[in-house]
């Protein structure tokens, strides 16, 4: 009897080993996934697809609503390539989440046979493991004692940025909508409730299209099941305090507390973390909802109701299931939001005590997101604020904002003082709302908003001890400098209306620029179809500073007399278009 069972077990083990060995040899299967399957027999996986749609056509559209519809429809059409995978999962009765904007499908507890089957489907280029939870200390913000004191004067961060001077011009965020994904939000807080887009009268609200809960179950990183909000809740609720605090820095105000940069902006929100712990799929779910908000049943998406800017005061580390193999899904979704006219603001991270090259996690590493460092009330960089490295000059923080001892809203009508880049990111998101309120024509013009923001920042030298920045190179501590609300709004008001978008609907060129940052001179390599067209460079306030006909496939541009900052180039001919960012 025992011998028979041993032979059966041996045969089964050998069969599984053979399958896993075959899996590890397939290029679409990440090695870490093969390892996890060999250990556990199943894994949560993210299936990613080859072709991401060309969304550049959105640049030809003038309004944010048009851009949003264009992008959403392009993503829906692109999702047809996912049909074979979805049909397989449906036939097997396997649950999944389909993220069209990430070009990916999340499949929980996929076994060896299922992974093997999915890897053979058309257009699948990568299947990655979403790693099991791993307990260890996570970097965070410091929480000081609760403060009940009131402060009629605007908080120090607002004063440092020149926000009261902007308010004095009658610009307070009206007409703009901010979004946030975090631990949730206390929508009944007196400083936040009137600004909630769903708020009506007499403490009532319509939560459809204004709130989404991506927390469906308890995180095992929390030791109990006592979530104060519950799961899949149909109204904004904060199961911690972090989210409410970040929203306060964007829009919070009442008669005795001035904590928010844009107190007349509206807000919408998504909960992506269960008491501070998220998963790749919860973050992606919130991002996708922001692209096209839905009703409370997750139906009837409305891309025209997407917010203007999203604050993301979080990061996804390996213990939550993110690693570099899953980054492409986040890159896709940030690209889609940007094309749809939504500015994605993220926190640079709180790992600066470990030195250079510490802006290393998603979403701060996603191209197209604005990564924000933190400074104190004297303008000094916070010791915890993550730094970049001269070895990868475009991967560091983009700008710095107040992030030390920031007083803001917490649940129950309270106020507390927190520190972290979690606090600095919302200051920049609120600032962008002020810019849009000042010049509504900027809505949806993400490249131009970014250029105005960076070019108006106050140039700030890195500390003398800085070893992360190369001499004469990009500042890897402050990025483009410290954010200035008064400068950015004045730049928006002075903006001459030129944007980095194009009216052409032709195909997109492949353009290469080196070096970038460009220094005193740079090379641009162009396809033959661009010859006969025009190369233009636009500065941060929409001025054309350089334009030349394209008469060869390789051109050199002198940029020695350009001021330091961000610029955008356009290449346009009868055959196609291209645009992108330059840093001087």
* 566 contacts: CB under 8 Å, gap ≥ 6: 450, 451, 454, 455, 480, 540, 581, 582, 583, 584
Asked if 27 is an active-site residue, the reply is no
Nearest to 26 by CA among 86, 132, 115, 131: 115
Three-state DSSP class for 9?
helix
Cβ proximity of 564 and 481 under 8 Å: no
Alpha carbon dihedral 354, 359, 363, 365, in 10-degree steps, equals -140
Question: Strand 211-213 vs strand 554-558: parallel, antiparallel, or unpaired?
Answer: unpaired
Name the active-site residue from 242, 245, 375, 427. Answer: 242
* Eight-class DSSP state of 316: B
Q: Give dist(CA 212, CA 291) in Å, integer.
A: 12
Three-state DSSP class for 436?
helix
Cβ proximity of 338 and 446 under 8 Å: yes
Please tell me the chain's helix, strand, coil percentages from 3-state DSSP, rounded to the nearest 5. Answer: 30, 25, 45
Asked if 422 is an active-site residue, the reply is yes
For the chain, the first-to-last Cα distance in angstroms comes to: 77
Cβ proximity of 341 and 176 under 8 Å: no
Sole residue written with tokens 């839905």: 294
| 40 C-beta neighbours (distance < 10 Å), count | 13
Name the active-site residue from 44, 182, 208, 539. Answer: 182
∠ CA 185-362-457, nearest 5°, is 80
- Please report how the helices 327-339 and 280-291 are oriented relative to each other, as an axis angle in degrees rounded to 10: 10
Cis amide leading into 515 (omega within 30): yes
Token code pair at residue 36: 């996890």
Sole residue written with tokens 């829906």: 76
Beta-bridge mates of residue 519: none
Name the active-site residue from 408, 422, 456, 536. Answer: 422
Beta-bridge mates of residue 205: 199
Q: Give dist(CA 251, CA 353) in Å, integer.
A: 30
Nearest to 193 by CA among 253, 283, 143, 150: 253
Three-state DSSP class for 317?
coil
CB-side neighbour CA atoms (13 Å) of 159: 12
* 328 contacts: CB under 8 Å, gap ≥ 6: 48, 126
Query: Catalytic residue numbers?
Result: 182, 242, 422
């Amino acid at each position: 009897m025992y011998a028979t069972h041993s032979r059966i077990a041996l045969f089964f083990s050998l069969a599984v080993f053979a399958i896993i060995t075959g899996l590890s040899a397939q290029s679409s299967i990440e090695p870490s996934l093969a390892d996890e399957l060999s250990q556990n027999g199943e894994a949560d996986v993210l299936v990613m697809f080859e072709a991401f749609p060309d969304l550049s056509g959105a640049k030809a559209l003038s309004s944010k609503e048009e851009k949003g519809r264009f992008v959403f429809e392009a993503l829906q059409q692109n999702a047809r390539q996912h049909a074979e995978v979805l049909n397989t999962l449906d036939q097997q009765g396997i649950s999944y989440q389909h993220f069209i904007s990430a070009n990916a499908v999340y499949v929980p507890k996929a076994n060896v046979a299922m992974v093997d089957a999915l890897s053979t489907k058309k257009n699948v280029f990568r299947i990655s493991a979403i790693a099991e939870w791993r307990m260890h200390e996570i970097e965070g913000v410091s929480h000081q004692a609760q403060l009940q004191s009131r402060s009629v004067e605007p908080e120090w961060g607002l004063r440092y940025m020149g926000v009261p001077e902007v308010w004095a011009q009658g610009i307070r965020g009206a007409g703009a909508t901010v979004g946030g994904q975090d631990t949730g939000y206390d929508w009944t807080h007196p400083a936040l409730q009137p600004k909630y887009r769903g708020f009506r009268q007499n403490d009532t609200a319509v939560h459809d299209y204004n709130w989404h809960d991506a927390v469906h179950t308890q995180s095992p990183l929390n030791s109990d099941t006592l979530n104060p909000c519950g799961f899949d809740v149909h109204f904004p609720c904060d199961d911690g305090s972090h989210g409410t605090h970040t929203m306060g820095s964007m829009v919070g105000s009442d008669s005795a507390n001035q904590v928010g940069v844009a107190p007349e902006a509206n807000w919408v929100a998504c909960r992506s973390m269960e008491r501070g712990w998220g998963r790749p799929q919860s973050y992606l779910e919130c991002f996708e909802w922001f692209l096209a908000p839905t009703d409370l049943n997750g139906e009837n998406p409305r891309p025209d109701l997407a917010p203007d800017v999203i604050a993301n005061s979080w990061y996804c580390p390996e213990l939550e299931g993110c690693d570099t193999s899953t980054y492409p899904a986040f890159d896709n979704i940030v690209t889609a939001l940007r094309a749809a006219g939504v500015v994605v603001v993220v926190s640079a991270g709180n790992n600066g005590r470990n030195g250079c090259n510490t802006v290393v996690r998603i979403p701060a590493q996603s191209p197209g997101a604005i990564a924000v460092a933190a400074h104190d009330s004297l303008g000094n960089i916070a010791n915890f604020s993550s730094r970049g490295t001269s070895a990868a000059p475009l991967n560091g923080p983009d700008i710095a904002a107040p992030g030390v001892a920031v007083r803001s809203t917490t649940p129950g009508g309270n106020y507390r003082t927190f520190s972290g880049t979690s606090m600095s990111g919302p200051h920049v998101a609120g600032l962008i709302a002020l810019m849009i309120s000042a010049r509504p024509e900027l809505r949806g013009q993400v490249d131009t908003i970014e250029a105005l923001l960076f070019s108006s920042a106050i140039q700030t030298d890195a500390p003398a001890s800085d070893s992360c920045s190369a001499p004469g190179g990009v500042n890897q501590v402050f990025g483009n400098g410290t954010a200035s609300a008064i400068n950015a709004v004045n730049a928006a008001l002075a903006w001459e209306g030129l944007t980095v978008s194009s009216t052409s609907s032709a195909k997109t060129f492949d353009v290469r620029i080196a070096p970038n940052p460009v220094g005193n001179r740079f090379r641009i390599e162009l396809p033959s179809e661009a010859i006969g067209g025009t190369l233009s460079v636009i500065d941060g306030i929409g001025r054309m500073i350089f334009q030349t006909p394209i008469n060869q496939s390789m051109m050199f541009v002198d940029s020695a007399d350009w001021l330091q900052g961000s610029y955008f180039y356009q290449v346009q001919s009868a055959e196609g278009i291209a645009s992108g960012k330059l840093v001087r």
